[in-house]
Structure formats: structure tokens, C-alpha cells
Homo-oligomer: A and B are copies of this chain.
Amino acid sequence: MAHKPRSEMIAETRAKLLASGRQAFGTVGYAEASMDDFTAAAGLTRGALYHHFGDKKGLLEAVIAEIDGEMSERLRQVSAMAGNPWQGFVDECTAYIEMALEPEIQRIVLLDGPATLGDPWQWPSQNACIRSMTDSLQKLIDAKLVVEVDPEAIARLISGASLHAALWIANADDPPSASKKAVKAFNVLLEGLLKDRSRH
């Protein structure tokens, strides 16, 4: 019954804390999540948490970085599957809205994250998923498909709009209906970016 190597045990502990914290933050929210509770749920104590992440905010940062990475990867796949660059971009935006509908993402990344850690773009994780959107836009501009605007600014606006749309949809009386309206309105706004609007 030889023990696993030490480094592996450590990584496992870290992963357990990350998962347990993510679960707690995603359900009851950051402020309401008790460190004693969710570390115990992972079979550990706060001591381990402070050792690995410094403090509660440190764990939140790590959780967000993890989720952010997953979101980024999902967006990458979506845009890669599209037929043409513009459609890829539109799909990416739509996917972003859909992701923002997931309670865990909404709660952790979109609500508690900014309120607790401040502006997402200043985060170490650099909000990779928005970077991805910025890149897509730059390519569209280079290809003369989209008018010349600062891609970072547009990506910002898009993601902000998506977030609020998602909040709205999630809390609407009739989510599917609200979702349709939001996507429709979203497409109208996006058309403002196109150089040649006629091809609609």
C-alpha cells in the first residue's frame, strides 16, 4: 500500500478545496459561504485553505480562473465550428449569453467576482474568454468585414450586454420568450458592426 507521491497528494488537496469552494460559491454565494463549512465538506479545515490560497478572496480568484478557462475553451470550440468568420463571431456571442445563464457562472463570475475583486479585466486570469472575443473581432476587422473600431472596446460592450441579458432572462417570468427577444435584439446591435449591412 505504497502511498502516492507527495506532490500528488498536495495537488489533490488543492483540487478538493477548489471544487468544494466552487460548489459553495456557486450555490449560496461568496458572502454566505462559510469557510468552516465547505472546507469540512472537503474533509479538511480552514488551515489547508489559508495555506494554499492565502485567504477567502484568494480561493475566489482561483475558482474564477478555473471557470474562466473553461469558458474560454468552450468559446474557442464554438467559433471554430462556424462556417465563416462573421458567423463564428455571432455564435461566440450567443454562446456567451447562454453561458451567462448558468447559475454558477452568473453567481461567481458575473456577480460576486466583480463585487469582491473589482474590475474583471484587472484580474490575473485576464478574463481569457473576452480575450478570445477580442481576437475574433480583430480578425474580422482585418478582413474588412467589420468597421474599424477598437476591438477591445467592442468586446467589452458585448460581454456587458450579454451579462445583463442573461440576468434578465434568468429572472424573467418566461425565460424562453425573453431569451428569444434578447438574441433578436442582440443581432440587431451586432449588425451595426458590419460594413455591408445588406448581406444581412
Contact = CB atoms under 8 A, between A and B. Distances in A.
Contacts of A190: 189, 192
Classify the interface of chain A: helix, strand, loop or mixed.
Answer: helix
Contacts of A161: 156-158, 160-161, 164
Contact of A122 (B118, B152, B159, B171): B171
- How many copies of this chain does the complex contain? 2
Given A156-B168, A156-B182, A192-B193, A115 B118 contact: no
A60 B74 CA distance: 37
Interface residues of A, number: 45
B189 A193 contact: yes
Interface in A110-167: 111-112, 114-116, 118-122, 147, 149-150, 152-154, 156-165, 167
Of residues A120, A167, A182, A185, which shows the largest number of chain B Cβ atoms within 10 Å of its Cβ?
A185
Given A119-B167, A149-B188, A192-B193, 19 more contacts: A114-B115, A118-B171, A120-B167, A121-B171, A147-B188, A149-B184, A153-B184, A154-B188, A154-B189, A156-B161, A156-B185, A157-B165, A157-B186, A159-B164, A160-B160, A160-B162, A160-B164, A189-B189, A189-B192
Q: Which 10 A-B pairs have the closest CB atoms?
A: A192-B192, A160-B164, A115-B115, A153-B185, A157-B161, A150-B181, A119-B171, A161-B161, A153-B181, A191-B192
